[in-house]
Amino acid sequence: MREVAVIGIGCTTFGEKWNSSFRDLFIEAGARALEDAGLAGEKIDALFIGNMSAGRFVEQEHIGALIADYAGLATTTHIPATRVEAACASGGLAFRQGVTAVASGMSEIVVAAGVEKMTDVASGTTVATLAGAADREWEAFIGATFPGLYAMIANDYMHRYPLTREQLAMVAVKNHYNGARNPIAQFQQEINIETVINSSLVADPLRLYDCSPITDGAAAAILTTMERAREFTDTPVKVLASAQASDSIALHDRRDISTLDATVVAAKRAFRQAGLEHSDVDMLEVHDCFTIAEICAIEDLGFCRKGEAGKLTEEGVTSLQGDLPVNTSGGLKACGHPVGATGIKQIVEVVQQLRGEAGRRQVDAKVGLAHNVGGTGATVTVHILGV
């Protein structure tokens, strides 16, 4: 296998983007990534586009072809363009497809991107569409929503482990603090514990500020071999590991509903591939679709034992100033969660941190990890990047 590097990154701002269509979002992020790599589009020899549900959100299918066309590469280079779907892990999986294509020698320079436009439909449709990432017959059909499913995880977790309501709120407070330092973030205001605890109840115990929002946005990364990377950039970021794992789609079929086994397995695979220990990792972007999800992620990735992540959060270990900064971008909670784009935005954030380009949220980092979850943990990708 060939060694792979990220040589360009680009992102739109995240939020309710009334003035940009689905295709506009992708083109904006893609153009930024090409500019960052100093590369012409014609040099790209494959496109992998993470997208969960353009069919329901904007009534558009055939996303690979659409993007190739609007990128100007359908009728010129006739580029192979592939849509990748794994619910909220679509971006992480698109990145993994790009890594695999370059590592195997099938492609030389690829774009791995993600895009989602979620705000063009009424919120009932959004919630029902997202519920399609769960088991339709056994969960969504009987009314389970994603806040509802993660609330079940939170209730089980809080029954078994010493996590307080305040510690859960501290995850959101930290991520809003980071989001306030990220110019692309959907929410750029700092909040306090009371903001979270007094916000409206969504699915007990999860409140509005425990949830990631509904978001439009796109992100893109350009990959090539480590050998060729310096043709394009002085700061290539090496892909040290690309891992993926699956679990049952329905929560009730899990061995343990507050441990995401797919995260545990993907993390073990990633650390084995990279030949690294947890202490080698300097920062994490994890899938905090709900505050409880960040708590589980830190533990299931192996950075502490089960039941300890609440205390780590309270002690500030996961803050920008802490020993293990988590979700420096603001995470899904504050940066926003355009589901198909999130996994690539995590990569963009890790690359910015490793290059020293993260501005007011910069941490000291040589190795970063990105963790992307589909559904309640039926698909998980873990990538480790380093300089």
Q: Is 296 in the site for ligand COA (CB under 6 A)?
A: no
Does position 52 bind ligand COA by CB under 6 A?
A: no
Residue whose CB is less far from ligand COA, 325 or 374: 374
Stretch that binds ligand COA, among 67-75, 203-211, 218-226, 306-314 (CB under 6 A): 203-211
Check residue 214 for interaction with ligand COA (CB under 6 A).
Answer: yes
Nearest to 229 by CA among 46, 4, 2, 1: 4
Q: Which one from 11, 289, 335, 337 is the annotated catalytic residue? A: 337
Instruction: State the helix-helix crossing angle for 291-300 and 146-160, rounded to 10 degrees.
Output: 60
Instruction: Say how many residues touch ligand COA, by CB under 6 A.
Output: 15
Q: Is 12 in the site for ligand COA (CB under 6 A)?
A: no
Return the structure tokens found at 100.
Answer: 């695999």
- The amino acid occupying position 245 is A
Window of 202-210, 221-229, 235-243, 263-271 that interacts with ligand COA by CB under 6 A:
202-210
Q: How far is CA 157 from CA 70, 131, 134, in A?
A: 46, 22, 20
Choose between 126 and 319: whose C-beta lies nearer to ligand COA.
Answer: 126
Out of 47, 49, 68, 88, the residue judged to bind ligand COA by CB under 6 A: 88
x/- track of binding to ligand COA for residues 113-152 (CB under 6 A): ----------x---x--x---------------xx-----
Integer angstrom CA distances of residue 364 from 179, 280, 348, 384: 18, 12, 16, 16
Please tell me the distance from the alpha carbon of residue 32 to that of residue 23, in angstroms, as a whole number.
Answer: 14
Nearer residue to ligand COA within complex by CB, 104 or 125: 125
Question: Residue 88 catalytic?
Answer: yes
Question: How far, in Å, CA of 68 to CA of 246, rounded?
Answer: 29
Binding piece for ligand COA, criterion CB under 6 A, among 1-9, 177-185, 210-218, 355-363: 210-218
Quick check: 254 binds ligand COA (CB under 6 A)?
A: no
Is there binding between residue 212 and ligand COA (CB under 6 A)? yes
- Is residue 383 among the annotated active site residues? no
**Nearest one of 149, 175, 207 to 286, comparing CA atoms:** 175
CB closest to ligand COA, residue no: 146
Cβ-count burial of 194 within 10 angstroms (0-12 exposed, 13-18 middle, 19+ buried)?
A: exposed
Residues that bind ligand COA (CB under 6 A): 88, 123, 127, 130, 146-147, 202, 208-209, 211-214, 289, 337
Return the active site residues. 88, 337
